[in-house]
Amino acid sequence: MPELFASPHQFDRVYQMDVRLHVTEDGGENFTMLDHDTKHVDHHAMAFDPTDENYLLVGNDGGVYESYDLGETWRFVNNLPITQYYKVAVDYDEPFYNVYGGTQDNNSHGGPSRTDNNVGIRSSDWFVTLFGDGHQSAVDPNNPDIVYAQWQQGNLARFDRKTGENVYIRPQPAEGEPPERYNWDSPILISPQKSSTLFFGTQRVWKSEDYGDTWTAISGDLTRNEKRTRQPLMGRTWSFDSSWDLYAMSSFNTITSLSQSPMVEGLVYAGTDDGLIHVTEDGGRNWRRIDKLPGVPSRFFVNDIKADLHNPDVVYVVVDDHKSGDFSPYVLKSENRGRSWKSIAGNLPERHVLWRIVQDHEKPGLMFLGTEFGVFFTVNGGREWTKLKGGSPNIPFRDLVIQTRENDLVGATFGRSFYILDDYTPLREMSTDMLKNDTVLFPVRKARWYVPRRPLGCGEPGCAGSQGDSYYVAPNPDFGATFTYYLPKAIQTGQEARRETEKELEKENQNVTFASWDTILKEQREDAPAIVFTVTNSDGSCVGLALPGAGCLGTRRRARG
């Protein structure tokens, strides 16, 4: 922003992009603003149709819009899942949990992780919890109707999902106190001990015991308190009357991450954007400062800090220094409440900024990392990391959360919306030796039983119901029980096995025997390799279909490695 685009159809017609979209018909002598009543703002890209002088294609913070009448009316392209989510949260609603998140310039949202219809998750299943740039959300684990959301710079609200009411609950300084400094994405934390207790970060740590109706500061200033507007910029300091943007940028010297131990109520950690970590072991009466981490630049930014779920003395921190040109992956562990640290970056790739770490609630060594280039997991506490693929994009995963009831890993991406890894429990059974040698059938999660609805009248999952190709539907998880298995090596067809042997000979420039016609015919008539799951109950009786004399019929799955 701002950018200029010359029309290929009319001389002296130029479009100028900034927050709004303007056009001049006389080479810049005069500009008029195009209509924006149904279109988002903050423009970034524009394209023209060389065969249609009335066509405009515009990209902005709201997505993609097109016009067939030079901007008098606009059509929103609503089937692109390209939302930029800063953070993600989940509730524990029944029968299906909901996912919440705050977006870049497009409100805070909530929506179902799955639905009871055969179509999938429609855009109409989602709802807005708060306006503005959305940031961190949080949901009461005991009451899914209590949702916390915020817009930039700590403007915190409590949303009632039943009534739609929003109550503004941002902590405020007392009379005579200096103004609070709120980060662009201020941290909100629901206490794991009692869900009516909240923590919130400015330059201080705030605590509420009544869902945010009243607040008490439990710390002093935990930052370097450097007064950003008085610091040198481009080699000098500047006047109050210079061109400042104090609203659309973060305050500095702010708290960026909070964590409370689920095992010790008074143990709270706070990390900042100016290279500091503070620890209190008595609920805020005393704080201990940490300003150095081994192998990490001194002015690190704390992206995440997490108290261990199983050991009260262990804590993890994710930091980065990419604003200084250092893109190294920094994730560290302390086994003595922050008094000393060691890196657990293991074999993570270089130049790999890290954003978030979460730990499995059953297996201590199983952890997940959200990074600038996807998600990694470890089964041994960080000695070795493996990238999770499974169809997820190579995109920044800015936040991760585990829905513990369903054992789902939910990720917020900065540009490709939400992704859910359904039932990651097989990873608890993983080991390096298993991946090399074993064929494994993992435990099966209890399946939900219900009659799917047909809201669009069609029968197939994902169907659009004559709504056209632009109708967007996200797929539900598969209906019924899901079998998860691992094969060290794919089951091969006869042709694949023959070619594997022949290729080894070809590498050594050895003779290869020409296959007989009987061999070729057998290969062509062969059924595709498959795995058959035979399901029985505790008595050994077939669950599902059975034929007289043929025994139990299994579920046939095409084999994949």
Residues 6 or more apart in contact with residue 354 via CB below 8 angstroms: 303, 318, 320, 329, 330, 331, 348, 369, 370, 371, 372
Q: Where are the beta strands (DSSP E) in 435-545?
A: 440-441, 473-474, 485-486, 530-533
Nearest residue to 456 via CA among 125, 231, 190, 31:
125
Average pLDDT, the chain: 91
Q: How confident is the model at residue 141 (pLDDT cuts 50, 70, 90)?
A: very high
Tens digit of pLDDT for each residue in 4-53? 999 999 999 999 999 999 999 999 999 999 988 899 999 999 999 999 99
Confirm if 390 and 384 have CB atoms less than 8 A apart: no
Average pLDDT value for residue range 447-469: 84
Higher pLDDT, 286 or 323: 286
Structural domain boundaries in the chain: 3-76, 292-430, 494-558
**Helix (H) or strand (E) segment spanning residue 204:** none
Residues 6 or more apart in contact with residue 501 via CB below 8 angstroms: none
Quote the percentage of the chain above a pLDDT of 70.
95
Query: What letter does residue 82 receive in the DSSP assignment?
Result: -
pLDDT in the model for residue 559: 44
CATH superfamily of the 292-430 domain:
YVTN repeat-like/Quinoprotein amine dehydrogenase (2.130.10.10)
CA 415 – CA 417 distance, rounded (Å): 6
Task: Choose the weakest-confidence range: 447-451, 460-464, 474-478.
Answer: 460-464
Tens digit of pLDDT for each residue in 324-364? 999 999 999 999 999 999 999 999 999 999 999 999 999 99
pLDDT in the model for residue 424: 94
Query: What pTM value is reported for the model?
Result: 0.89
pLDDT in the model for residue 320: 95
Burial 248-276 (b: 16+ CB within 10 A, else e): eebbbbbbbbbbbbbeeeebbbbbbbbbb
Nearest residue to 97 via CA among 108, 113, 82:
113
pLDDT in the model for residue 544: 63
Q: At what angle do helices 517-525 and 494-507 cross, to 10 degrees?
A: 130
Confirm if 159 and 230 have CB atoms less than 8 A apart: no
pLDDT in the model for residue 561: 36
Nearest residue to 152 via CA among 183, 118, 176:
183
The three-state secondary structure class of 123 is: helix
Tens digit of pLDDT for each residue in 43-53? 999 999 999 99
Residue 463 has pLDDT above 90, yes or no: no
